[in-house]
Amino acid sequence: MPSAFSDTGNRNFNLAVQLGIWAELDGTGLGFDSSAGFTLPNGVTRCQGVGWANGYKSW
């Protein structure tokens, strides 16, 4: 994947910061950045730009 332009990188960073602050204050789940991979039921692993999971547990 090619690098994002600086304005896109800044928007993505700010989104991750806002989600992280909210997740910490909310306390009901965990926040994840784009480096986190999740294995889906069909066995493939996918990454999101930024995400949150309620009651997340690692299998």
Instruction: Decide if 59 is inside a domain.
Output: no
Domains in the chain, number:
1
Q: What's the domain range around 45?
A: 6-54
**Digit-coded pLDDT (tens) for 8-36:** 889 888 988 999 899 899 888 888 888 88
> In terms of C-beta distances under 8 Å and separation of at least 24 residues, what long-range contacts does 11-15 make, across chains too?
12/49, 12/50, 15/49, 15/50
Instruction: Decide if 44 is inside a domain.
Output: yes
Q: Which residue has the tokens 């896109």?
A: 8
C-alpha span between 54 and 5 (Å, rounded): 31
9's CB contacts (< 8 A; 6+ apart) are 3
What whole-number percentage of the chain has pLDDT above 90? Answer: 20
**Digit-coded pLDDT (tens) for 33-49:** 888 888 999 999 998 87
pLDDT of residue 17: 92
Instruction: Decide if 33 is inside a domain.
Output: yes
Instruction: Decide if 1 is inside a domain.
Output: no
